[in-house]
A and B are shown apart, each in its own frame.
Chain A
């Protein structure tokens, strides 16, 4: 056997494993959630009841879907100005400079911090600060969780956007300059249109990360199983309720939690699909 063949076999094998894992996950989520969907039907998705008391068991996923979408989208909105300006700073204005190298490393370091550390920092530093600002009495809720999520996804959005922005061909930029464009005009008219689809992709990826974050959110969101009344009230997310309740769950409750996992799986897939569609439109 020659090297070419071996490489080919290894690659096919690796790809097959990925398909197997993803398929296996989808299958176990599907089969596990059947009892919940059998019991509640599609009402499971739009119901706001969550009552685990024996004899009165009713489960609905809407509070968690709402909490997940609200925190993730809010986090994306908060993260955008910071991540966007940082990526311009690194990929365009100070590209290749020492300061960009240092800042870039720092941003990447943010990605390496375990989420429990973000959670603890949020709990002991951010929460008292929110209370101090008078935003709400106990400092926990959708807004606090979104702030932490925003900080957690900054490195993902930033690094990817930076790569994309710095890949814009130099010839195009020089052409803009030769027509008398200022640097800002060049960025607005050449760099951003060129990099737009890649930048969108980086935010879609970050959103995916925010959707699935568990530990830090659990510590800051307040864990109330109702639809949040506003961004300063408490709520719960899909990942967080699974992490909280899975340990002691059995029967219908266990199946409902798995069904929530399945819904999260579908939402993430949907958002990725929308991201790809937007990218195609922009090109």
Chain B
């Protein structure tokens, strides 16, 4: 028995030894820098993809933990990560609660699509009053005259509408409820906006896969799903009427169009109900957040530099090109420029890094 144990220990040491030497080899170009980040789950597939590409090119190791936007903010606050990621920008109050000034940098765009399950009906059109009616439980039948009037030629069944929403706290719910609050006064008053809501109707399912699965399994259901997940599924979704009165299908182009209007220089803005005539109305940024002064917790200048280089690369055309391949939408040029400006304001010992 003892003999085997010794062999095992020796093997283990040998194995970790190999591992280390191989790590050194691959990291020969970018030294041994490891970057740690955590936050939103929505952009996680995008980050995983581009971070692994970056790692291949430069040897900088990057780990990203998808622990939710709230967790991302908390991790940055506790200074256990190099940068955090969040789907909702920090409010003035939240920024005040952080130990030091932070910088927001949008990385890509996404949207919330309204998915439904009505066999044989490929496309429906919804305006804000129908959305309010359905998601507040005022319209309960698919063959409701209001729905019918807005969709001439569509043969709606005589069926109850089953609303499906998120049961867990989520940035998807936040963007959806932000849009609803902007377009519907009674929604704003009775329900409001938040990561989880007090729903008057419907049933909850966990995560985008849960909502998509429940809709896929339930004829007569309707719900909201993050576009990055919905686009990868064989699922029908509604065209929504935007603020210019046009019915817009959610696509990479119509989602990006939402950021073509005025954006404040710190990029802290909800893009829902955009006034661009081509914009899909429930679109939004997702952000990476980092400290403006990078010399904290004894971080080295190399570490800070590596962080900034990576984030600058995320804004490059090469990285932005990846978005559409995996069902996200790229930042429009103007947003990229603003994001770069914000990155340039990041300092180490008071001196700009980029």
Contacts and interface: CB of A to CB of B under 8 A. Distances in A.
Contact of B203 (A50, A54, A140, A243): A140
A180 to B, nearest CB: 58
B197 A244 contact: no
A139 B215 CA distance: 12
B69 A248 contact: yes
Contact of A249 (B162, B169, B197): B169
Nearest to B221: A138
Interface stretch (A3-11, A26-34, A120-128): A120-128
A265 B196 CA distance: 25
B145 interface: no
A138 B167 CA distance: 16
Contact of B196 (A52, A124, A138, A222): A52
Interface in B217-251: 217-218, 220-221
B210 A219 contact: yes
B214 A53 contact: no
A124 B217 CA distance: 8
A194 interface: no
B204 A138 contact: no
B194 A223 contact: no
B169 A223 contact: no
Interface string B26-69: 00000000000000000000000000000000000000000111
- Most chain A beta carbons < 10 A, residue from B69, B191, B203: B203
Given A53-B198, A138-B162, A222 B204 contact: yes
Interface in A15-71: 50-56
A250 B70 contact: yes
Interface string B136-179: 00000000000000000000000110100001111000000000
A62 to B, nearest CB: 15
Interface size class, chain B: 20 to 34
A218 B198 contact: no
A141 to B, nearest CB: 8
A247 interface: yes
Contacts of B169: 52, 244-245, 247-249
A52 B198 CA distance: 6
Interface string B59-86: 0000000011111000000000000000
A162 interface: no
B195 interface: yes
A218 B213 contact: no
Contacts of A224: 199, 202-204
Contacts of A219: 205-206, 210
B167 A53 contact: no
A137 interface: yes
Interface in B12-35: none
B71 A128 contact: no
A234 interface: yes
Dominant secondary structure at the A interface: loop
B193 interface: yes
Nearest to B67: A247
Given A247-B68, A248-B68, A249-B169, A56 B203 contact: no
Nearest to B41: A247
A248 B170 contact: yes
B168 A245 contact: yes
Contacts of A55: 192
A110 B205 CA distance: 26
Contacts of A52: 169, 194-198
Interface in A101-131: 123-124, 127-128, 131
A138 to B, nearest CB: 5
- Most chain B beta carbons < 10 A, residue from A128, A218, A247: A247
Contacts of B218: 131, 137-139
Interface string A212-225: 00000011001111
Contacts of A234: 203
B217 A244 contact: no
A234 B162 CA distance: 12
A244 B191 CA distance: 19
B204 A244 contact: yes
A15 B68 CA distance: 38
Given A124-B217, A244-B204, A250-B70, A218 B167 contact: yes
Nearest to A235: B203
A53 B197 contact: yes
B305 to A, nearest CB: 33
B229 to A, nearest CB: 17
B168 A248 contact: yes
A9 to B, nearest CB: 24
A246 B203 CA distance: 18
A155 to B, nearest CB: 26
Contacts of B70: 247-250
23 contacts: A51-B198, A123-B217, A124-B217, A127-B217, A128-B217, A131-B218, A137-B162, A137-B218, A219-B205, A223-B167, A223-B204, A223-B205, A224-B203, A244-B168, A244-B169, A245-B196, A247-B67, A247-B71, A247-B169, A248-B69, A248-B170, A249-B70, A249-B169
Interface of B: 67-71, 159-160, 162, 167-170, 191-199, 202-206, 210, 213-214, 217-218, 220-221
Given A245-B167, A248-B170, 7 more contacts: A131-B218, A222-B204, A223-B206, A244-B204, A247-B168, A248-B69, A248-B195
